[in-house]
Amino acid sequence: MSSLSLQELSVSRTDREQSSGKMTSAKDDLYPRKLLDYMEGFMVSKTLFAACELGVFEQLHASAQPLSAADLAQALGLSSDATERLLSACVGLELLNTQTNPAGEVFYSNTEMSTVFLTESSPRSLYHSIQYSSRTIYLCWHYLTDAIREGKNQYEKAFGINSKDLFQALYRSDEEMVKFMHLMNSIWNICGHDVITAFDLSPFRCICDLGGCSGALAKLCLSLYPQSSLIIFDLPKVIQTSRQHFVSEPHERISFCEGDFFKDALPPADLYILARILHDWTDERSIELLTKVYQSCTSGGGVLLIEALLYEDNSGPLTGQLYSLNMLVQTEGRERKGSDYSRLLTTAGFTCVQIHRTGKLYDVILAQK
């Protein structure tokens, strides 16, 4: 092979250096913003959780005017410096507004979104949902890698409680049960109308809400379908708590039925609502429950499933995919595709399966006997 001249060598070296320089520049331009956002995602969640738990949004809502960090810290019994950092982060998250006086002092107030969804007194509040996410779900997610290795929920590691009986673990104390029921209540306060109006339910005069929990969906059904009567079916201690805290006023068209829907007879009804029920369970247990519903359902009746549906090509939605991981760390179940639920329903005997996507958190499937 002939040797290169000094000039040729110089050119070749220069070309390589320029090429390398271009590559380095291109690599430098590839800034991993999305990955950094993902890495910091837990910080965002915990900032929101902490602000809610400490009463930041509630105190600002109660105040007749914006407050400084020092005033807010004094009112809540917090560190002034730490409070200022928290408030600043909440401004960055667009949860708080600021205004500055001529002396340069910063004052804070709630955004409209925070007033509507983060104050406990708001009828559309997510306060209790956030509390549950912070104090229960977040702790289970600490063991996500273990859940993926083992393929089972992580209640025993997170709380030292055997999860063989799923709802014994979920309702491990009266306080935890009330927190869970508040979570469900807050979710249906913002999502309930979309799922209950996805199909015309007026032909179904007797509706049974299986696992009806706080009764939020039952009350909504009554307001939308005044000719119907509602049965709330749930475990005895859930029914007792629901009557005490959530459906305390007697209602002639709401009745209660205590029982375990796997072990006890179901009350006959024209329509059974299973809202966020099947995602707790395996396919086998889901078919077992749906078969029982089919057998209890009146002729021409049906079942309404309310779940977060995954896309058929596994491309999303991201919320549903994350919820499915949450089902892994918390339950025996998973989120599913519409075709999966159709298969479960037809295996149990139902036909005329209709799927309605709301474009929000939860979708709806109606099937008939």
Q: How far apart are CA 360 and CA 126, in angstroms?
A: 16
User: What pLDDT, in 10s, does the model give residues 288-328?
Assistant: 999 999 999 999 999 999 999 999 999 999 999 999 999 99
**At 165, which helix (H) or strand (E)?**
none
Mean pLDDT along residues 90-119 = 97
Q: Could you tell me the residue ranges of all domains in the chain?
A: 39-117, 127-368
Q: Confirm whether 39-117 and 127-368 share one CATH topology.
A: no
- CB crowding 82-101: b at 16 or more within 10 Å, else e: ebbebbebbeeeebbbeeee
pLDDT the model gives residue 26 = 54
Q: How distant, in Å, are the alpha carbons of 53, 197, 346 from that of 272?
A: 36, 15, 16
109: left (phi over 0), alpha (psi -120 to 50) or beta: beta
pLDDT surpasses 50 at 80? yes
Contact 190, 113 (CB under 8 A): no
User: What pLDDT, in 10s, does the model give residues 170-205?
Assistant: 778 888 888 888 888 889 989 999 999 999 999 999
Bridge-based pairing state of the strands 297-307 and 254-258? unpaired
Please report, to the nearest 10 degrees, the dihedral formed by the alpha carbons of residues 127, 129, 135, 141 taken in order.
-140
pLDDT the model gives residue 10 = 39
Q: How confident is the model at residue 25 (pLDDT cuts 50, 70, 90)?
A: low
User: What pLDDT, in 10s, does the model give residues 219-273?
Assistant: 999 999 999 999 999 999 999 999 988 887 767 889 999 999 999 999 999 999 9
Does the annotation mark 279 as catalytic?
yes
pLDDT surpasses 70 at 3? no
The sign of the torsion formed by the CA atoms of 102, 103, 105, 107 equals negative
Please report, to the nearest 10 degrees, the dihedral formed by the alpha carbons of residues 199, 205, 209, 212 taken in order.
110
Q: How confident is the model at residue 47 (pLDDT cuts 50, 70, 90)?
A: very high
Q: How far apart are CA 339 and CA 353, in angstroms?
A: 10
Kindly report the pTM of this predicted structure.
Answer: 0.87
Q: How far apart are CA 346 and CA 18, in angstroms?
A: 65
Catalytic residue (one of 61, 142, 251, 279): 279
Q: What is the CATH number of domain 39-117?
A: 1.10.10.10
pLDDT the model gives residue 5 = 38
Q: Which CATH superfamily is domain 127-368 in?
A: Vaccinia Virus protein VP39 (3.40.50.150)
pLDDT surpasses 80 at 12? no
pLDDT the model gives residue 9 = 33
